[in-house]
Structure 1
Amino acid sequence: MTTHSEGKGLPNPKNAYRLRIGRYCEPGCLYLLTTITQKRRPLFHDFQLGRLVVNQFRQAHDEGIVTSKAWVVMPDHFHWLVQLNNKTLAELMCRVKSRSSLSINQAAHTNERVWQKGYHDRSLRREEDMRDIARYIVKNPIRAQLAARIGDYPLWDACWM
Structure 2
Amino acid sequence: MSRIARVKSRTGIYHVMWRGANRQEIFHEEQDRIKFLSILEKYKVKADLRIYAWCLMGNHVHLLVKEGSEALSTTMKRIGVSFVSYYNWKYQTNGHLFQDRFRSEKVEDIQYLLTVVRYIHQNPVKAGMVNRVDEWHWSSCRGYYGRPTYSKELHDCDYILGLFSGNQTIANARFIEFNESDNNDECLEEPAFYKRRLTDEEARLEIREHLGAIEIVHVKSLPKQQRMEIFREVKKIRGLSHRQAARILGVSASLVSKA
* TM band (smaller chain): 0.7 to 0.9
- Paired with 1:154 and 1:45, the residues of 2 have a C-alpha distance of 15
The 1:78/1:137 distance shift into structure 2, 3 A limit, reads same
The residue that corresponds to 1:53 in the other structure is 36
How far has the Cα of 1:66 moved from its partner?
1.0
Higher Rg: 2
The residue that corresponds to 1:155 in the other structure is 138
How far has the Cα of 1:115 moved from its partner?
1.0
The 1:22/1:114 distance shift into structure 2, 3 A limit, reads closer
- Contact residue 26 and residue 84 of structure 1 kept, 8 A: no
The 1:149/1:99 distance shift into structure 2, 3 A limit, reads same
* Alpha-carbon displacement from aligned partner over 1:132-160 (angstroms, at most 9, x marks no partner): 32121011011011111223222111563
Mapping of 1:63-78 within 5 angstroms?
63-78=46-61
Q: Root-mean-square deviation (CA), in Å?
A: 2.3
The structure in which a higher percent of residues are helix is 2
Asked if 1:107 corresponds to 2:90, the answer is yes
The structure in which a higher percent of residues are strand is 1
- Paired with 1:26 and 1:87, the residues of 2 have a C-alpha distance of 14
The residue that corresponds to 1:11 in the other structure is none
- Paired with 1:135 and 1:122, the residues of 2 have a C-alpha distance of 16
Q: Which segments of 5 or more consecutive residues in structure 1 lack a partner in the other structure?
A: 1-16
TM-score (norm 2): 0.50
How far has the Cα of 1:24 moved from its partner?
3.4
AA partner of residue 160 (structure 1): Y
The 1:26/1:85 distance shift into structure 2, 3 A limit, reads farther
- Contact residue 27 and residue 87 of structure 1 kept, 8 A: no
- Contact residue 11 and residue 108 of structure 2 kept, 8 A: no
The residue that corresponds to 2:77 in the other structure is 94
- Paired with 2:59 and 2:23, the residues of 1 have a C-alpha distance of 5
- Paired with 1:104 and 1:48, the residues of 2 have a C-alpha distance of 11
Q: From 122, 139, 143, give the equivalent of 2:122.
A: 139
- Paired with 2:137 and 2:28, the residues of 1 have a C-alpha distance of 11
Count how many residue pairs are aligned between Structure 1 and Structure 2. 144
How far has the Cα of 1:40 moved from its partner?
1.0
- Paired with 2:74 and 2:121, the residues of 1 have a C-alpha distance of 25
Moved over 3 A (4+): 24-28, 158-161
Q: Which has the higher contact order (CA 8 A, sep 6+)?
A: 1
TM-score (norm 1): 0.77
Secondary structure at the counterpart of residue 96 of structure 2: coil
Q: Which segments of 5 or more consecutive residues in structure 2 lack a partner in the other structure?
A: 146-259
The 1:101/1:128 distance shift into structure 2, 3 A limit, reads same
Secondary structure at the counterpart of residue 52 of structure 1: helix
* Alpha-carbon displacement from aligned partner over 1:75-109 (angstroms, at most 9, x marks no partner): 11111000111111221221111111111222333
